[in-house]
Amino acid sequence: MPASGTLRNDWSREEVRALFDLPFADLMFHAQRIHRENFDPREVQISTLLSIKTGGCPEDCAYCPQSAKFDAGVKAEKLMALDAVLEEARAAKAGGASRFCMGAAWREPKARDMEKVCAMIEGVKAMGLETCVTLGMLTEPQTAQLKSAGLDYYNHNLDTSPEFYGEIITTRTYQERLDTLENVRNAGINVCCGGIVGMGEGREDRVGMIVAFATLPAHPESVPINLLVRVAGTPLEHQAALDPFEFIRTIAVARITMPASVVRLSAGREDMSEETQALCFLAGANSIFCGPKLLTTPNPGRDRDMALLEKLGMTPMA
Ligand code: SAM
Ligand code: DTB
Ligand code: SF4
């Protein structure tokens, strides 16, 4: 086992596989020890999501209800107006969120989109919220522009292992994702990079996905682990449900390999028992999306989440 507190980005597949293979109690014990050395286990960071540009996306990500290639009943909309975005951000802040994440169903933003999104970032930041956006692929000048607008985090997921990736997305390469992540990192913006489990990948793909995050030149500051939301009309609609213990193991291995990163128990909580969510927190997850909607799909509402946190003696991170 690695010395605790040490950040390593030379994780091998064998090491990560061995973590996944540990007896559950040993894996949880190890994850909790690392978690407690780096964080207060009672605290959970709260982010709120808003889809600022919904649907009509040219990409073919098999999980996504916003792709124009499938009919998941999501209506394509234009980029939201600044005022409406700021109103949502104010409500998120009042609801206890510390970060406001704005998502757009784009392959990449155009110049005029960039100006509008930068105004949104400036407005949200002025309210005292941390800002995060996810807009697809970015060039170096675009990352610089976002940085000057005051962007704190950029979300761009690798989604799965390099080997399984081609089964899920054909319109954008793994390397293009890595290039965007490098541009974001070089601009001095915090990186939020995670993936999805439960898409029909095997244990070895979950190993490969964690290795991909943990061997980036620097660990992402934020690592969202999404459980596939099986949306009718997408190719993954009938995917078999993943065993919750496999999801919890993925969280624990993310925590152990990236000790200082905030690991987000991201999409999929609507279909998860409170007990599974509690085990995810014990495994080292310390962030959630709060609010009744993710981008287009339902999420437990604020009241249910606050009741769960209360039962567990957990509190929102300032
Ligand atoms: N269009 C941009 C992009 O993909 O880079 C940003 C928005 S995209 C919706 C953000 C992330 O949401 C995806 O990378 C994926 O990991 C996650 N996501 C989308 N649909 C999902 C689903 N049905 N279940 C779980 N996660 C999902
Ligand atoms: C991430 O990893 N998960 C969030 C956020 N980054 C943008 C999105 C989840 C979307 C779930 C499907 C939907 O609501 O459309
Ligand atoms: Fe488009 Fe992002 Fe959905 Fe892929 S995940 S189809 S890029 S909105």
Asked whether the CA dihedral 20, 21, 24, 30 is positive or negative, the reply is negative
Q: pLDDT value at position 295? A: 96
Contact 166, 200 (CB under 8 A): no
Q: Which atom of ligand 3 is nearest to the CA of 172?
A: 7
Nearest Cα residue to atom 6 of ligand 3: 67
Task: Report the length, in residues, of the chain.
Answer: 318
Q: Residues near ligand 3 with C-beta < 6 Å?
A: 57, 59, 61, 64, 66-67, 105, 136
pLDDT at 2: 44
**If DSSP codes are grouped into helix, strand and coil, which group holds residue 234?**
coil
DSSP letters spanning 139-159:
-HHHHHHHHHHT--EEE---B
Ligand nearest to C-alpha 180: 1
How many other β-carbons are positioned within 10 Å of the β-carbon of residue 223? 27
The pLDDT of residue 5 is 54
Q: What is the pLDDT of residue 97?
A: 86
Q: E strands, 6-140, where?
A: 43-53, 99-104, 130-134
Instruction: Give me the residues of the chain with pLDDT under 70, please.
Output: 1-5
Q: What are phi and psi of 263, to 5 degrees?
A: -100, 125
Task: Give yes or no for residue 195 CB within 6 A of ligand 2.
Answer: no
Helix, strand, or coil here: 231? coil
Q: Is the Cα dihedral 301, 254, 154, 68 positive or negative?
A: negative
Q: Quick: pLDDT tens for 197-226.
A: 999 999 999 999 999 999 999 999 999 999
| Pocket-testing residue among 133, 196, 230, 247, ligand 1, by greatest number of atoms within 8 A of Cβ | 196
3-class secondary structure, 210: helix
Write out pLDDT tens, residues 166-206: 999 999 999 999 999 999 999 999 999 999 999 999 999 99
